[in-house]
Amino acid sequence: MQDRSLSRRTVLASATVVAASATGVVGVTATPAVAHRRDSRLKKIISRMSIEAKIGQLFVPYFHGTSATSPSQSDQDRNLAALGVRTVAELIAKYHIGGVIYFHGWTNNIQDPRQIAELSNGVQRASLALPTPIPSLISIDQEHGVNVRIGSGATQLPGAMALGAGGSLSDARTAGWISGTELAALGIHQNFAPVADVNVNPANPIINIRSFGADARDVGRMVAAQVTGYQQAGVIACAKHFPGHGDTGEDSHTGLPVITHTREEWDRIDAPPFRAAIAAGVDSIMTAHLQVPALDPSNDPATLSPAILQGVLRGELGFDGVIVTDALNMQGVRTKYGDDRVPVLALKAGADQLLFPPDIAVAYNGVLAAVRSGEITEARLDESVLRILRIKEKAGLLSGSPYVSRKEVDRIVGARRHRHAAARIAERTTTLLVNEDRTLPLRRSQRKLLVVGAGPAFPTDDTRTTVPELAAAFDDLGYRTTHLATGRTPDTAKIDEAVAAAQGRDAVIVTTENINATSPQRTLIARLLATGVPVIHLAVRNPYDIAHLADVRASLASYCWTEVELRAAARVIAGRVEPRGKLPVPIQRADDPTRYLFRSGHGLSYDGVD
């Protein structure tokens, strides 16, 4: 993959503001002398901490509610049932918690930017009230694309596979910088991104379009660019999921996947993006809950494997930053050991941050018992606390006020210049896969459009769904558009309704989501093609959908269904901008998976050039 836009660096990228801290610059390795002085200061802090406080620094739990001290009664009840406390402030006080993670939806942490900022300030007030007052490291999963936690009010950016299709290191870096700048303004210091997994398995149920692509070298370059962007913005990046989750057909949320790569295959396929992230100065790396027999014949999950975390990640790859476990409530890490033993074994394996324990009391007391018995030494505990304090200082938490201001939130989060840059980046990712008889771009005479098909609600707003949002994008471009959401499994009545709605239209845009050989979405498209009305297909999630649609004459991939991608796709279909994306993954033929329908790098322009 070549960087197709390095010569057109955006104003945002060229004007990047590097966040300073007491150790120098975020993303820049300190000299040995500076590092020694920093560690001496941090060790003095550690020497004043109790065993209980040290253990608390390791945990990154979830909680319910939009406020640190006064959440709704229902959220207090949920906290009491799940955590044994009513508020996150009480949680921090009880367990000396060193960090928390925000989620959208089920935890009700996120409403709008001002609320998030005040929640962050409340978390910090609770942390500074501890006997050893150390600010919290607040974390989030804001990958963009399909995995978004903060939606309303913040800038939405293309996800990893879309950026891979764009092929621009500058765009990847700028996207990380925009996201990091907005997170920092909200009081969020650690983002569990970018995904460093190489998606070589099209059937991967959990990584898929969250990966930059299928080529290890290209993925590594994009990962390094995103790490640089995030950390130049003052946010701790986290490459995940080590040692690589890209070639699995099982979801580690529900089972324990096995990676069958040989050691040579792991070195060639899985390792390069993590090596690239480390070379770029990534401050944290997240583990995967999967077995890799070539790296550890014990078949313990990587999260609990000293051979993988200490032997490979720390020893062979030379990583001395913070190792974060993937969520400890996932089934992949709970299949062999109880919830009291999992955090203990993770620490013994080499992990530092313990993310999302299913029961904080069980996990905390399990670690406390292991330290008191001598199974985990206090010196080992100090190693992890020191690494965590290093990234807290790097994020500026130990060298100034941890609080954020509403004024900065209003100025930075969702800024017009950020949204404009996101829109331009998205335009460079939309990929034209098929364009027979120059079906696209739409002609001037094609003004009456029908938008039908599948596509879920937006990741952070279930009132906004794909089909009406895409129709609105065409309306804003001057088209007369009607729409009908037919879903992933349209029945005969819904298909008949779509066919009837196509009558009298100049063109039909049909969206698909994760088609397989038996999908009723195929029937919908076949019936629409039979009407004789021009049909344009848009895959709004997996680009692999085209393998099941041999008869379509025009097909594009947007790699996600969020507003920024949908509006970019609409502009491409309308001919307002040229399609420039190139497939970052190969697409196999549905009738013969040993042959390729399209190879990586395929992507048409309107002059027919691939």
The H-or-E segment that residue 432 falls in is strand 431-435
Q: Which residues contact 338 (CB under 8 A, 6 or more apart)?
A: none
What digits encode the pLDDT tens for the residues 102-134?
A: 998 899 999 999 999 999 999 999 999 999 999
What residue ranges define each of the domains in the chain, with the CATH number in brackets? Answer: 41-412 (3.20.20.300), 430-598 (3.40.50.1700)
What digits encode the pLDDT tens for the residues 427-450?
A: 999 999 999 999 999 999 999 999
The pLDDT of residue 10 is 32
Residue 264 has pLDDT above 70, yes or no: yes
What digits encode the pLDDT tens for the residues 179-224?
A: 999 999 999 999 999 999 999 999 888 899 999 999 999 999 999 9
| Average pLDDT of the chain, as a whole number | 93
Mean pLDDT of 316-321: 98
Confidence of residue 456 (pLDDT cuts 50, 70, 90): confident
Lowest mean pLDDT among 4-8, 63-67, 177-181: 4-8
Catalytic residues: 253, 326
Burial class (CB in 10 A: 0-12, 13-18, 19+), 14: exposed
Alpha-carbon span 493 to 510, nearest angstrom: 17
Nearest Cα to Cα of residue 515 among 554, 487, 551:
487
Residue 2 has pLDDT above 70, yes or no: no
88-95 vs 360-373: helix crossing angle, rounded to 10? 10
Q: Are 112 and 153 in contact (CB under 8 A)?
A: yes
169-185 vs 416-427: helix crossing angle, rounded to 10? 150
Greater confidence (26 vs 100) lies with 100
Confidence of residue 23 (pLDDT cuts 50, 70, 90): very low
Confidence of residue 554 (pLDDT cuts 50, 70, 90): very high
Lowest mean pLDDT among 1-10, 322-331, 333-342, 495-504: 1-10
The pLDDT of residue 6 is 35
Residue 27 Ramachandran class (φ > 0 left, ψ -120 to 50 alpha, else beta): left
The pLDDT of residue 458 is 73
Percent of the chain past pLDDT 70, that is, above it, reads 94
Confidence of residue 462 (pLDDT cuts 50, 70, 90): low
Report the 3 state secondary structure along 123-139.
Answer: HHHHHHCCCCCCCCEEE
What digits encode the pLDDT tens for the residues 332-359?
A: 899 889 999 999 999 999 999 999 999 9
Terminal-to-terminal C-alpha distance of the chain: 14
Residue 543 has pLDDT above 90, yes or no: yes
Residue 22 has pLDDT above 80, yes or no: no
Q: Which runs of E-coded beta strand occur in 166-304?
A: 190-191, 236-242, 284-287
Nearest Cα to Cα of residue 421 among 231, 201, 144:
144
Q: Which residues contact 512 (CB under 8 A, 6 or more apart)?
A: 453, 454, 521, 525, 537, 538, 539, 540, 545, 549
Greater confidence (295 vs 461) lies with 295
Which residues does residue 554 pair with via DSSP β-bridges, in sequence order? 435
Taking residue 437's Cβ as centre, other Cβ atoms within 10 Å add up to: 8
Q: Are 381 and 72 in contact (CB under 8 A)?
A: no
Taking residue 50's Cβ as centre, other Cβ atoms within 10 Å add up to: 11
The pLDDT of residue 152 is 82
